[in-house]
Amino acid sequence: MMESISPNGTSAACDREPPSIADKVGFLGAPGAYAPAPGSVVVLETHMSYVFLAGDKVYKLKKPVRYPFLDFSTIKAREENCREEARLNRRLAADVYLGVVPLTYDARRGLALGGDGETVDWLVEMRRLPREAMLDRLIAEDRLTAAQIDALCDRLSDFYRHAERSSISGEDYALRFFREQEKNRDILTRRDFALDHGRTPVLLDLLDARLAASRTQLQARVREGRIVDGHGDLRPEHICLRDPIAIFDCLEFNAELRQVDPFDELAYLGVECALIGAKTLGAELVDKVAQRLSIEPPRRLIALYAAWRAALRARQCVAHLLDEKPREPAKWEPLATRYLNLAQAALADGA
């Protein structure tokens, strides 16, 4: 492993072996990696990426990881994913996603962004968006206006109206909910997690029953042409209410999971908004988008979507604790409990 990397990308050990992921993060976390150099760089870590906030730009480096649902273990796979991320996100944030940039390395000069050396990784390059205009911040600070809600509904309805219709079969669409529910049960009922193990199986049983009762309706959504290639991860922290509205960080690594009912995505957004205090915003978004699309929203199905999404998010929370070195371990069990509370409330609403 390289001993150190200076802000200009040089290292005393660069001539001995190629850079590791730690070397790349160290280099990209220094202002000298960028031209012009920002005053500082903020480094954020997610489950699958490192994100570098550098002045008015943002760069995302994929981790060389492999999970059942994705494989970023090769440079080629990471490049393809970066390009797909830029392409898909330009649908709802065209001026934000600038493209992809190679991270290069040679033994004499070390690492560089877009240099002449061998390409050792790829990054997505984006414009930095104003944090104060993010939907989660507006909700937390009670600054969200009716005009902003209407503008968001205009943006979403236009997207869903023109989105590519899915070719998924009705059976495959319905089966996806049952497969994910099996995973929910496997993870959420493990006794080593600090959850309410009296309530959780009962809640999952009820969700199973609602899914079974709704199977025909789920399949009908496909036959009616309602399923689109959507965003896939529609959360308030992925929505910037500047002008024009930017909706970013879509689910790029799994095309199947982007095949969604728009009202599933809106139910998911409603769950995430309720989690941070905007309990009625989801219903308002559903009604206004449905009005703009001139369709009647499937009320009972929306409640099921919300419950299923909340249970899925609870599972994803505690699944972090299965990592060898989980980030913020104290965070996940209390957060999972809050999601399970929202799942229970959604099932009650749809009764």
The stretch 271-275 carries a mean pLDDT of 98
Long-range contacts of the stretch 287-290 (C-beta < 8 A, 24+) = 288/149, 288/150, 288/153, 288/157, 289/153, 289/156, 289/157, 289/160, 289/262, 290/263
CA atoms within 13 A on the CB side of 69: 13
Quick one: pLDDT band at residue 16, thresholds 50, 70, 90?
Answer: low
- 207 and 75: one domain? no
The stretch 265-287 carries a mean pLDDT of 98
Q: Considering the domain boundaries, does residue 248 fall inside one?
A: yes
Residue 248: φ, ψ to 5°: -125, 180
| Per-residue model confidence as pLDDT tens digits over 226-260 | 999 999 999 999 999 999 999 999 999 999 999 99
- 117 and 138: one domain? no
Is 285:149 a contact under the CB 8 Å cutoff?
A: yes
**The predicted structure's pLDDT at residue 325:** 87
Q: Residue 166 gets which letter from DSSP?
A: P
Q: Considering the domain boundaries, does residue 10 fall inside one?
A: no
Nearest Cα to Cα of residue 315 among 180, 140, 213: 180
**The predicted structure's pLDDT at residue 290:** 98
- 341 and 196: one domain? yes
- 107 and 164: one domain? no
Q: Show which of 127, 162, 186 is a domain's final residue.
A: 127
Q: Show which of 111, 127, 143 is a domain's final residue.
A: 127
- 148 and 223: one domain? yes
Q: Considering the domain boundaries, does residue 14 fall inside one?
A: no
Q: What is the CA radius of gyration of the chain?
A: 22
| Per-residue model confidence as pLDDT tens digits over 281-309 | 999 999 999 999 999 999 999 999 999 99
The total number of structural domains in the chain stands at 2
CA–CA dist 8, 27 (Å, integer): 8
* CATH number for position 74: 3.30.200
- 122 and 141: one domain? no
Q: Considering the domain boundaries, does residue 16 fall inside one?
A: no
**The predicted structure's pLDDT at residue 5:** 38
What would the two tokens of residue 280 be? 């009625």
- 229 and 266: one domain? yes
- 102 and 200: one domain? no
| Per-residue model confidence as pLDDT tens digits over 49-83 | 999 999 999 999 999 999 888 899 999 999 999 99
Is 234:247 a contact under the CB 8 Å cutoff?
A: yes
- 229 and 244: one domain? yes
Can you tell me which residue has the tokens 């199973």? 208
Quick one: pLDDT band at residue 29, thresholds 50, 70, 90?
Answer: very high
**The predicted structure's pLDDT at residue 13:** 41
- 141 and 270: one domain? yes
Q: Considering the domain boundaries, does residue 175 fall inside one?
A: yes
Residue 42 amino acid letter: V
Q: Residue 129 gets which letter from DSSP?
A: P
Q: Show which of 127, 146, 180 is a domain's final residue.
A: 127
| Per-residue model confidence as pLDDT tens digits over 150-206 | 999 999 999 999 999 999 999 999 999 999 999 999 999 999 999 999 999 999 999
What would the two tokens of residue 64 be? 């060389």
Q: Considering the domain boundaries, does residue 98 fall inside one?
A: yes
What would the two tokens of residue 220 be? 């009908």
Domain that holds residue 52: 21-127
- 121 and 138: one domain? no
Q: Between 338 and 351, where is the model more confident? A: 338
What would the two tokens of residue 337 be? 């409990």
Q: Is the pLDDT of residue 8 over 50?
A: no
What percent of the chain stands above pLDDT 90? Answer: 89
